[in-house]
């Protein structure tokens, strides 16, 4: 029944949901109209409020672009592909394949959500290739769904956009809440409880959903053709290289610049302890990617290929910032916060924050973009009820990733890598999502520290 519900939701979302940019435009007009009608701002004042915020997230936008590009470029390294190819030979059937794909997806998501999305997608495809070559029947959709599960749990991990942002000096809510280190957000017992359970439990759940052998159908010809194709291409040094080509393919040049980055990263943690923020996480994945690619030419190609996936961030984030500007400068933040407080208590506010966040995520499918829109409201609500800001920031982050299983936005990259369609995976991912939701709800009632 749950799988059928997921299938219906997948069909509806693919048929009726427009591009996420349209939602950014719609939310802009809704915020504009509410500012004029509820807080009695003039039309021109709302235009000014909108533009005050419009360009305010440019540094954050660049940080988010790098959060997408750097892990994707890292995974494109030849050494990573060799590792995945060897690992893909281990599963013996579809059930064990789904288990290990989900395990890789969820555990790696705790390290970096972008790493999880690309790495698990490639792993799912390679597992499918190996199983097909062995003559084993399996559900490719189940493998694809397993690879997508990391996007349901990542915001409890070390690449959480909300947690890393509020740990970064100069973030847009610093005046309201200050700078909150990850030791007080990601590493709290409340979040660690959810992190540990969601890193491992989804793999067991989706393995239980594997169809019986008699229920499995043969792969269609289109999928078989896709699995037989060669999907990995690497940059090769020209046969008669020029001086420029030699520099592009020089391991020494590449490693010299990497030495600077590694030196600072070591210095950072040696002097500041486990101090994670957006900039240092991006630096780690950027220089690690360059090291694994070995040459500048290889890394530049990987970055160029990955850059296509940040078009939505570049276009949409100024509009999210504009919405944030209207909400903050018009007084709508007080109105929205007051509405949430009206049906919440200090004990239930984190749970309601989680639920509202999971709903908003369907329309603003971006951890950073959603925090720009919802963050000021969540913080104000917490302050009005005397709730620890860390608690609402954490549950807002959980809600943002939990409902990813209901919509295919972040699955676009996965679908391109695996050759699957959204309807092939959303039914399975929805079923797992409903079970994992229980963990998040329980977590929202836990104290930040025991």
Q: Checking phi first, is residue 273 left (phi over 0); if not, alpha (psi -120 to 50) or beta?
A: left
Distance (Å) of CA 207 to CA 85, 89, 110, 139:
21, 18, 20, 11
Band (348; pLDDT cuts 50, 70, 90): very high
Tokens (6 digits) for 160? 């959480």
Would the CA dihedral through 309, 312, 317, 323 be positive or negative?
negative
Band (416; pLDDT cuts 50, 70, 90): confident
Per-residue pLDDT, 190: 97
Per-residue pLDDT, 12: 65
Band (288; pLDDT cuts 50, 70, 90): very high
In angstroms, the CA 308 to CA 205 distance is 33
Instruction: Answer yes or no: is pLDDT of 1 > 80.
Output: no
Distance (Å) of CA 356 to CA 2, 141, 402:
22, 29, 11
In angstroms, the CA 366 to CA 309 distance is 13
Q: Tell me if the pTM is above 0.85.
A: yes
Band (270; pLDDT cuts 50, 70, 90): very high
Instruction: Answer yes or no: is pLDDT of 2 > 60.
Output: no
Phi and psi angles of residue 10, each rounded to the nearest 5 degrees, phi first: -65, -45
Q: What is the pLDDT of residues 31-63, one digit of tens each?
A: 999 999 999 999 999 999 999 999 998 998 999
In angstroms, the CA 367 to CA 21 distance is 15
**Least confident piece of the model among 229-243, 259-273, 282-296, 346-360:** 229-243
CA atoms within 13 A on the CB side of 127: 31
C-beta separation of 302 from 77 below 8 A: yes
Helix, strand, coil shares of the chain, percent, nearest 5, are: 75, 0, 25
In angstroms, the CA 103 to CA 327 distance is 40
Of 210, 119, 132, 121, the C-alpha closest to 428 is: 210
Q: What is the pLDDT of residues 364-410, one digit of tens each?
A: 878 888 999 899 999 999 999 999 999 999 999 999 999 999 877 77
Distance (Å) of CA 75 to CA 71, 148, 157, 291, 316:
6, 16, 19, 12, 26
**Least confident piece of the model among 49-53, 208-212, 412-416:** 412-416
The string of DSSP codes covering 49-111 is HHHHHHTTTHHHHHHHHHHHHHHHHHHTSHHHHHHHHHHTTS--SHHHHHHHHHHHHHHHHHH
Per-residue pLDDT, 402: 97
Band (312; pLDDT cuts 50, 70, 90): confident
């Amino acid at each position: 029944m749950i799988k059928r519900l997921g299938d219906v939701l997948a069909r509806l979302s693919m048929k009726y949901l427009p591009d996420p940019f349209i939602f950014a435009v719609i939310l802009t007009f809704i915020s504009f109209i509410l500012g004029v009608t509820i807080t009695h701002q003039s039309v021109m004042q709302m235009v000014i409020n909108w533009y005050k915020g419009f360009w305010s997230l440019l540094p954050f936008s660049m940080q988010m672009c790098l959060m997408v590009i750097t892990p994707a470029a890292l995974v494109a390294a030849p050494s990573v592909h060799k590792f995945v190819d060897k690992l893909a030979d281990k599963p013996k059937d579809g059930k064990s394949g789904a288990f290990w794909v989900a395990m890789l997806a969820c555990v790696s998501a705790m390290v970096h959500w972008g790493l999880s999305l690309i790495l698990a997608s490639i792993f799912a495809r390679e597992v499918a290739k190996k199983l097909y070559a062995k003559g084993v029947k399996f559900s490719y959709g189940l493998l694809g769904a397993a690879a997508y599960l990391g996007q349901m749990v990542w915001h409890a991990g070390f690449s959480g956009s909300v947690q890393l942002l509020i740990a970064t000096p100069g973030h847009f809510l610093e005046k309201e809440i200050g700078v909150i280190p990850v030791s007080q957000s990601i590493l709290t017992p409340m979040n660690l409880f959810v992190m540990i359970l969601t890193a491992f439990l989804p793999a067991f759940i989706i393995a239980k959903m594997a169809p019986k052998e008699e229920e499995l159908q043969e792969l269609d010809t289109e999928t078989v053709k896709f699995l037989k194709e060669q999907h990995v291409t690497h940059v090769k040094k020209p046969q008669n290289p020029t001086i420029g080509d030699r520099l592009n393919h020089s391991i020494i040049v590449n490693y010299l610049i990497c030495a600077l980055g590694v030196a600072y990263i070591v210095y950072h943690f040696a002097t500041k302890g486990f101090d994670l923020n957006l900039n240092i996480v991006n630096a780690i994945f950027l220089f690690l990617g360059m090291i694994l690619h070995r040459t500048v030419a290889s890394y530049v190609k990987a970055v160029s290929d990955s850059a296509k996936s940040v078009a939505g961030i570049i276009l949409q984030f100024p509009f999210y910032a504009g919405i944030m500007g209207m909400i903050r400068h018009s007084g709508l933040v007080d109105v929205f916060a007051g509405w949430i407080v009206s049906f919440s208590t200090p004990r239930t506010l984190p749970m309601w924050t989680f639920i509202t966040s999971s709903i908003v995520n369907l329309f603003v499918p971006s951890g950073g973009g959603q925090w720009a829109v919802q963050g000021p409201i969540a913080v104000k609500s917490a302050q009005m009820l005397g709730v620890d800001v860390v608690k609402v920031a954490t549950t807002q982050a959980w809600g943002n990733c939990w409902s990813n299983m209901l919509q295919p936005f972040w699955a676009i990259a996965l679908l391109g890598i695996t050759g699957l369609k959204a309807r092939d995976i959303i039914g399975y991912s929805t079923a797992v999502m409903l079970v994992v939701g229980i963990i998040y709800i329980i977590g929202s009632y836990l104290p930040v520290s025991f």
